[in-house]
Amino acid sequence: MSDRVYKLVEVVGTSSTGTDEAIHNAITTAAKTIRHIDWFEVVKTSGHVVDGKVAHFQVTLKVGFRLESD
């Protein structure tokens, strides 16, 4: 395995279903424009409450992807 260099970006995924779905939404969408995603880290979980019930989940992720070498 060769040495690698990574870049981090922060993305926020949302879902009305749950945090797992919010994570999947974030990674799936990011992967459409970012190549070589290798890992993610959940840095924040939050949500929106309506009438005393959770209406929406938000998950902030740090996404790591490999930079291409020459």
At 3 the pLDDT is 84
Q: Which residues touch 15 (CB under 8 Å, ≥6 apart)?
A: 21, 22, 25, 56, 57
At 1 the pLDDT is 53
Q: Which fold has domain 6-66?
A: Dodecin subunit-like (3.30.1660)
Q: Which residues touch 3 (CB under 8 Å, ≥6 apart)?
A: none
At 2 the pLDDT is 72
Residue spans per domain, the chain: 6-66
Each of the 70 residues of the chain gets a pLDDT tens digit; together they read 578 899 999 999 999 999 999 999 999 999 999 999 999 999 999 999 999 999 999 999 999 999 987 6
Does this model's pTM top 0.95? no
